[in-house]
Structure 1
Amino acid sequence: MPKLLIVDDSALMRKHLRSIFEETGAFEIRTARNGQDALDQVAAFDPDVVTLDINMPDMDGLTCLGEIMTAAPRPVVMVSSLTRASAPATLEAMQLGAVDYVEKPGGTVSLNIDAIRREMVEKVTAAVSAKPRRARGLLSRVRHTRQATVQPRRAAPLGRVGGLVLIGVSTGGPRTLEDILPELPGNLPWPVVVAQHMPGTFTGSFAQRLDRICSLEVVEVTGPAPLTPGRIYIGRGDADVVIGSRLGRQIVSSVPCDPAMRWHPSVERLVRTAREAFPADHLIAVQLTGMGDDGAAAMAELRAAGGRTIAESEASAVVFGMPAELIRLGGASLTLTARAIPGQIRTWLS
């Protein structure tokens, strides 16, 4: 039975979370009241997965997470109020090695935690088998930042674009995208559109964060916009990102969620709308880490029609769910580690 450590400074929240996971009967559970208590429990209890609050007195969640991922890496799911103000801290937690995050509805001490019971259990259960990654050091960030300054951004040309790179990603995605997107050159001839399962309060901050470290310009899709080379489009959260055309030009848009799709922005919907706007052999689709199967069927059909597809390999995927399903369907042209993917995209577009 996997061991779960719940870390929160609120006794009420610890009680709510413990109740949720005790009802599953699937975990051995302990709790910690602050960051230092959590570090002591990690050493003594050796949990398989940790849920960690961000805002705690004395030692906050980010400091605690950094200590865990440096000394004894293991899957950590952040539990936080998902507001625009908290977005940078939660994204920093992903950078430090957290696997995922869950919203704490109603604020720091919530009486409505049952509203996210299903999501909480699913994400923590998936995290048990996730691959923990050590905290990324400053040198890696400096390297990416320098790369972005060395390669000047190209002016976006007018008219139709020749093709499109599509990326679908979920659990473990923010850090994986930070490994891949900065390695794409500023003169990439095709635009890139990303469907990352993420709340709308986060995607703007995430796009800004990526824009600081990428050679390509990175923008959040908030409304209809022309597709242009030299740009990465991050689909706005709590909506779907789709491809279409207007006045003879291909466009990318943010539209209300399709209720038939469980995860948003929907990878499946992104790929299917791209197929309506581009020939299959003018599309490259990449399926990265994430639980579930969003996008796998559409990408498999794309490959069968002559498109090129990549599934992230189990060796690097934080959660080998979405790419595994693409492979199972016979829809992966190639299976590559995250670090090998940008080189393959460059090769295909050279």
Structure 2
Amino acid sequence: MTKLLIVDDSALMRRLLTEIFTTAGDFEIAVARNGAEALEQLGTFSPDVITLDIHMPEMDGLACLDRIMVLHPCPVVMVSSLTAEGAEETLEALALGAVDFIPKPKGALSLEIDAIAADLVARVRSAATARVPRSHRLQERLRARAPRRLPAASNPPASVQTTIDPSPTDIPGLVLVGCSTGGPPALDRLLGSLPAGFPWPVLVAQHMPGSFTGPLARRLDRLCALDVMEVDKATPLASGHAYIGRGDADLILSRRAGHLVALPAPMSEAYLWHPSVDRLVDSALRLLPPQRLIGVLMTGMGNDGAAAMARLKQAGGQTIAEAESTAVVWGMPGALVSRGGASRICALDTIAGELMALLTP
């Protein structure tokens, strides 16, 4: 049985979540009304996974998460509103160590939560198996004691020092990145380690709602030497830039007036997850030879991207799978490895260096 601690100040939300996970049949459940009660339960109940509301009295979810990661590091799934403020707070929570988030229903709670019950259970089950790096998170927590809006814990490592001259008029190739659960902090470290002169545009399909990808792009732009933007319209590609696919859509490539552009496309029912990594890679393979593409598949639940990146490697392109030792959830990169589709398997903090080596003559 998986020991689940549900933390929410709403009695109705606690009851509904308890019913959902009791019905699932493989959870032992405890509840807490706020962050202070949750911390008291860490020693007595010792949860395997926690669902944690952000807005609570006495001690809010972010303050509670900070303490959990020191006192009892374990997978935490945030319960978040799909607003701009909710997105910023959720990204901060992911930087502090939360492994995933679930949307808080907006309408009649008892009706809407039934529609997302299956997804809730799947996400919490997956989170319960996630890797939480305990000693590393403790060091981050010690650095995060100063007041912050964006926590010091999210600061990426120093950029790779190798310099490549950018080519402002030519795009020799593309880096295609896919990630899901655990992806935002992984993107901090990958994109934050690439220099401003990185010569290939980087396109990112990160599974997220539409209200989250804009704040994610703005946050990464503040942290990175690259210029980072959300693709919310047809956008010409340039070196030294990273492009985040808009949530609730797919990110695809097209050619207009002889130039490569990225653009959002309506979600296709042919793909299960969105923005779809498989669809992004397939669209790139239709426009560029595989030798001018590098696929990077990082932490995430499921297998999105594995099939298309395996085709990319088979056609002669390069692919990198994040190593199991650093992935929060090794679903997506593990699926690529199991297909024989990974040219390289790299720990997260070495992926940027591998990209630089591949692009350095």
TM norm structure 2? 0.92
* Structure 1, unpaired ranges of 5+: none
1:156 deviates by 7.7
Match of 1:222 in 2: 232
Q: Give the aligned partner of residue 305 of structure 1.
A: 315
Instruction: Check whether the contact 2:154–2:188 (CA below 8 A) recurs between aligned residues.
Output: no
| Residue 323, structure 1, aligned to residue 327, structure 2 | no
Q: Corresponding residue for 1:334?
A: 344
Distance of 2:89 and 2:112 partners within structure 1: 23
Secondary structure, aligned partner of 1:3: strand
The 1:45–1:101 alpha-carbon spacing in structure 2 relative to 1, beyond 3 Å, is same
Cross-structure match for 1:16: 16
Deviations along 1:196-249, one digit per CA (max 9) or x if unpaired, are: 001110101000100011010000000101111010000000000001100000
Q: Deviations over 1:104-132 (max 9, x none)?
A: 11169665211211110110000111011
| Alignment partner, residue 290 of structure 2 | 280
1:29-75 per-residue CA deviation (whole Å, 9 max, x = no partner) reads 11111101000111110000000000101100000000001221100
Q: Which residue of 1 aligns with 2:148?
A: none
Residue 144 and residue 117 in structure 1: after superposition, are their counterparts in 2 closer, same or farther (change >3 A)? Answer: closer
* Cα separation, partners in 2 of 1:154 and 1:44, compared to 1, 3 Å: farther
CA contact (8 A) 1:151 1:215 kept: no
Query: Which of the residues 204, 208, 214 maps onto 1:198?
Result: 208
> Could you say which residue in structure 2 is the equivalent of 1:128?
128
Letter in 2 for 1:33: R
| Aligned counterpart, 1:56 | 56
The code of the aligned residue for 1:289 comes to: T
Q: Contact (CA 8 Å) 1:153, 1:215: kept in 2 or not? A: no
User: CA, structure 1 residues 36+95, in 2 after alignment: closer, same or farther (shift >3 Å)?
Assistant: same
CA contact (8 A) 1:285 1:308 kept: yes
- Residues 1:94 and 1:285: Cα distance change in structure 2 (over 3 Å): same
Higher alpha-carbon deviation: 139-148 or 322-331: 139-148
Q: Could you state the TM-score of these two structures normalised by the residue count of structure 1?
A: 0.95
Q: In percent, how many aligned pairs have the same letter?
A: 52
Structure 1: distance between partners of 2:315 and 2:188: 30
C-alpha distance in 1, partners of 2:246/2:162?
27
How far, CA to CA, are the matches of 1:100 and 1:151 in structure 2?
33
Q: Tell me the equivalent position of 2:188.
A: 178
Summarize the Cα distance change of 1:44–1:152 in structure 2 as closer, same or farther, 3 Å threshold. Answer: same
Residues in 2 aligned to 1:201 and 1:50: alpha-carbon distance in whole angstroms: 24
Q: CA RMSD in A?
A: 2.2
**C-alpha distance in structure 2 between counterparts of 1:154 and 1:60, whole Å:** 47
Decide whether the 8 Å contact of 2:291 with 2:316 is kept in 1. yes
- Quick check: 1:157 aligned with 2:173? no
Structure 2's unaligned 5+ residue stretches are 145-150
SS in 2 for 1:310: strand
| 1:209 alignment counterpart | 219
Letter in 2 for 1:122: A
Counterpart-to-counterpart distance in 2, 1:10 and 1:142? 29
What are the superposed Cα offsets for residues 257-283 of structure 1, whole Å, 9 maximum, x if unpaired?
111211100000000001111110000
Aligned counterparts of 2:30 and 2:178: Cα–Cα separation in 1? 35
* AA at the equivalent of 1:130: A
CA distance in 2, matches of 1:221, 1:206: 12
Deviation of the 1:157 alpha carbon: 2.0
Aligned AA for 2:127?
A: A
Task: Give, in whole Å, the separation in 1 of the partners of 2:189 and 2:18.
Answer: 35
1:138-175 Cα distance to aligned partner (Å, 9 max, x none) = 47949958958x999998823x4110000000001011
Q: 1:4 to 1:142 in 2, by over 3 A?
A: closer
1:255–1:106 CA distance, 2 compared to 1 (3 A):
same
2-side partners of 1:275 and 1:161: how far apart? 15
Any idea what SS the aligned residue of 1:14 has?
helix
Distance across 2 between alignment mates of 1:4 and 1:144: 30
CA distance in 2, matches of 1:11, 1:348: 54
**2: distance between equivalents of 1:185 and 1:168?**
20
Aligned partners of 1:9, 1:219: CA distance in 2, in Å? 36
Q: Give 1:2 shift.
A: 1.1
Q: Distance in 1 between matches of 2:118 and 2:39?
A: 27
Kept in 1: contact 2:96–2:154 (CA 8 A): no
Please state whether the residue corresponding to 2:357 is helix, strand or coil: helix
Kept after mapping to 2: 8 A contact 1:154/1:230 = no
The residue number in structure 1 matching 2:88 is 88
Rounded to whole Å, the distance in 1 between the matches of 2:190 and 2:65 is 23
Tell me the residue number matched to 1:236.
246
